[in-house]
Amino acid sequence: MHKKIQIVIIDLHNSMQRVLLLKTNKTSGNFWQNVTGSVEKNEDFMKAAKRELFEETGITNINLIELPLSFEFHDRLKRYVNEKVYLALIDSSHNIIKLSNEHEESKWLTIDEVNEENYGYHSNYDALLSAKNVLRQSK
């Protein structure tokens, strides 16, 4: 089984909660997504999530919340995948996004303006809905 992570990044800097979307480069399909990545050998899901968050955005020292959502699917290489989903709550005034070479662009959208069409995969939108639900419950 191949293990992966996905991270929804939400900015709590101002009253309008914003979601960070990353656009993959042309080699990777040229679509918008959350942070995603593979769990490496001798790494647990949480450690992989923190590493991928840093590698793809430059964000460090963030407490990640494991969301009550995971996905199981076969990827384009026909591998059986187990993907766990996390939420990163950040203050964008203290975090400058530094994209990896996997992505060519990033954008912030308010949490209420994001819809399924913003993402290349439905699972990314499902992850956002799960994150919104967790935020709602924590108020």
What domains lie within the chain, and their CATH numbers?
A: 2-138 (3.90.79.10)
Q: At a CB cut-off of 8 Å and minimum separation 6, what does 83 contact? A: 3, 4, 5, 6, 36, 70, 71, 72, 73, 123
Residues, the chain = 139
> Could you tell me the pTM of the whole model?
0.94
pLDDT digit string, tens, across residues 29-44: 999 999 999 999 999 9
Distance, in Å, from the CA atom of 66 to the CA atom of 135, rounded to the nearest integer, reads 12
Question: Residue 69: what residue type?
Answer: L
Percent of the chain with pLDDT over 70: 99
